[in-house]
Amino acid sequence: MVMKRPEIPRKMCPVIFLLDTSGSMDGAPLGAVNRAIENVLPELISMNNDNPDNEIKVAVMTFDYDAKWIVGETELLSPDDVSKSWRDLKATGYTSMGAAFRALNDKLSVSHGFMQRASGSVAPVLFLLSDGEPTDDYKAGLQILQQNNWYKIAVRVAVGYGEANYDILREFTGNEGTVLHTNDTDELKNTIRFVAVTSSRVASQGSSVSPDDPNANPDDNTQTVANALQNQGGNLNAKLDPEDDF
């Protein structure tokens, strides 16, 4: 026998989904969201298996009549645990986006939220999905959120579907390069997956690629992901044969 090696402590890379489950999402769109999340989780698990620097942990909030944490209410969970307990989301009600932003702000805190981790964290991924106009005062919620330091350094990405208000999504991300939109349910699944996987990879790996612009703010993680979505994307409009879709 030899001395057993310890496991190196990792920083947490929080990946937080804010998902619009208002009534208009019912049917095919929500089906696409459910399938997309199911597909994203194994990718996050495999990223974790290979990353000695950071560990992805997940939280999922839905918003309709109100904002509700489906996963991670008290503590962010490993994608493995999420995958084991995942149940399909149901759609009903309004689009309480302002409430969602407020609820997120409450949790983005070390002292009273879910950002506590002994070994520290890296910038979180904030993923917003919506298909329509907010039915509450989104602006007031967003203004509070925008003061949050975690929000400021976060990788902010958004996927809009159908009637989604592009300007609001853009306001949330603060970067047009990380807002993607689609009107097609098949494409919705691929778009969610592409955006969620790419942003999680960039956030969890830290970038070993030098920025094109040496004067760029290195902590503008949203811009880093915008570059990645542009450089690593392509073919989102093609109807991919599931057989071909690795």
127's tokens: 């993923």
Binding mask 11-50 for other proteins (x = CB under 8 A): x-------------------------------------xx
Q: Minimal distance in Å, beta carbon 231 to other proteins?
A: 3
The 3-class secondary structure across 109-138, one letter per residue, is CCCCCCCCCCCCECCCEEEEEECCCCCCCH
Binding mask 147-186 for ligand ATP (x = CB under 6 A): ----------------------------------------
Per rule CB under 6 A, count of chain residues that contact ligand ATP: 2
CB 48 within 8 A of CB 56: yes
- List the strands of the sheet with 11-20, edge to edge: 67-71, 54-63, 11-20, 125-130, 155-161, 179-182
Please report where in the chains the tokens 């996050």 appear, as a residue.
44
Binding mask 149-188 for other proteins (x = CB under 8 A): -x--x-----------------------------------
CB 96 within 8 A of CB 64: yes
Q: Minimal distance in Å, beta carbon 224 to other proteins?
A: 10
Q: Does 208 bind other proteins (CB under 8 A)?
A: yes
User: Rounded to 5 degrees, what angle do the CA atoms 22, 167, 150 make?
Assistant: 80
Segment 115 to 154, residues that bind other proteins, using CB under 8 A: 115, 117-123, 150, 153
Q: Does 85 bind other proteins (CB under 8 A)?
A: no
CB 160 within 8 A of CB 179: yes
Q: Which is nearer to other proteins, 85 or 243 (CB)?
A: 243
Segment 189 to 228, residues that bind ligand ATP, using CB under 6 A: 205, 208
Q: Which is nearer to other proteins, 66 or 219 (CB)?
A: 219
CA 235 to chain centre: 21
17: β partners: 60, 127
CB 64 within 8 A of CB 106: no
202's tokens: 């960039």
Binding mask 89-128 for ligand ATP (x = CB under 6 A): ----------------------------------------
Residues in contact with other proteins by CB under 8 A are 1-9, 11, 49-53, 110, 115, 117-123, 150, 153, 201-202, 205-210, 212, 218-219, 227-228, 230-235, 240, 243-244, 246
